[in-house]
Amino acid sequence: MSVFQSLSDEHRLIWGLIGRLEACLQEPDGRVARRDARAVLLVLLRALQGHGELENMIFERAEGAASSEAARALAEVERQHEALEALRLEAVDLLEKAADLDLARLRPLARRLAGALRAHFSDEERELWPLWKNVESRSMRRGLDRRAAERVKDLKAEVRGWWTAVDEYLPGR
């Protein structure tokens, strides 16, 4: 599997979690919304942790061979990773601050996170990746392809495990 296929699988997985969080936040019963959103957030925030690490590793390794356009696209994506990490930490803070999630704060935060991720995934898929696809040598790519596939396989297994825990935590869903 190519490194870009793995990265786009990761995007789909994270985007699916955003969809589940948004669905929880539309639940009219505040008690149910708080309970379910907390469970989904725990999974989402773990999945987001380390999202940029693999990408930075992949693109930094080929940096010397990149065009100035590709280097600019990478700098923008790295800036977005920092902004996403700040949003992730805000959500971690919200989770840790109170046993009962503050929905009035979580709803706008979830909207900002969804908007930032949508723009970020789109920038990566449409601008960064096409610029980098021809940069690396085939042997370098083979190693990266394997590492990216492993990372996404591990992430999928972890997410499956977390869902099992969430389903046990939320009986009747």
Residues that bind Fe ion (CB under 5 A): 55, 124
Least CB distance to Fe ion at residue 14 (A): 8
55 close to 120: Cβ distance less than 8 angstroms: no
| Alpha carbons within 13 A on the beta-carbon side of 152 | 20
Least CB distance to Fe ion at residue 142 (A): 20
CA–CA separation, 42 and 79 (whole Å): 24
Question: Which CB, 34 or 129, lies closer to Fe ion?
Answer: 129
Q: List the one residue out of 106, 111, 82, 81 whose CA is nearest residue 95.
A: 106
Least CB distance to Fe ion at residue 103 (A): 28
Least CB distance to Fe ion at residue 115 (A): 15
Question: Which CB, 102 or 154, lies closer to Fe ion?
Answer: 154
CA–CA separation, 151 and 131 (whole Å): 23
At 125, phi and psi to the nearest 5?
A: -70, -40
